[in-house]
Amino acid sequence: MAARADGKGEACARGERIGDFESWANRYDDFYPAGTRLDREYRLSRLLVMAGRSWITHIDNRLRAETGQTRARWQALFTLAFGPQPATLTDVGQRLFVQWPTLVRVVEGLVADGLITRVDNPRDGRSKLISLTPAGMAVVKKIQPILDQERAAVLADLDDAELEQCAELLHRIFARVASL
């Protein structure tokens, strides 16, 4: 990866790798000998987790500062915007991989703020149906360009083929985890 004009990415250009922990993990080789399959698997899984956490933290901070929305809230709004409405709470929870109590708290907050509606499901009295309101769609439209800009900045050094390759590899990993 080449160094960027703004100086960011210089560590990678010098050969240092984000996520390396040789400076503090002096007993790592006792657990995962260098160059082994276990070593490569551990480092990859660690980088996946660190990349996800870094992305989430960065996006959470920016969106909270600019829109006041937490990740749980904007992800619920986007899930509704992307799919058919109204949707059951169960459907939204499954799409988000979120447990019921967490989703109920998020939905209650979004309802209170007028961003979604929640009504009884006429086909199943035990469930609720939720839909975006115009105010909720306005929040989605405010957040989307921020996400698009941040995603473009993070992925700028990858060409289309690399994006497809990364997506395919991550899909395979995700599918494998889901099958366990």
Q: Out of 7-11, 60-64, 155-159, which region has the weakest mean confidence (pLDDT)?
A: 7-11
Confidence of residue 124 (pLDDT cuts 50, 70, 90): confident
Summarize pLDDT for 82-110 with one digit per residue, the tens: 999 999 999 999 999 888 888 999 999 99
Is 136's pLDDT higher than 50?
A: yes
Residue 57 structural domain: 36-156
Instruction: Give the pLDDT band (50/70/90) at residue 23.
Output: confident
* 3-class DSSP assignment, residue 146: helix
Domain presence at residue 21: no
Structural domain total, the chain: 1
Rounded Cα–Cα distance for residues 86 and 107 (Å):
13
Residue 55 resides in a domain: yes
Residue 177 within any structural domain of the chain: no
Return the CATH number at 96: 1.10.10.10
pLDDT confidence tier of residue 2, bands split at 50, 70 and 90 = very low
pLDDT digits (tens, 9 = 90+) for 35-51: 999 999 998 999 899 99
Instruction: Note whether residue 95 is domain-resident.
Output: yes
In-domain check, residue 31: no
The secondary structure of 24-73, three-state, reads CCCCHHHHCCCCCHHHHHHHHHHHHHHHHHHHHHHHHHHHHHHHCCCHHH
Task: Quote the percentage of the chain above a pLDDT of 70.
Answer: 88
pTM of the model: 0.80
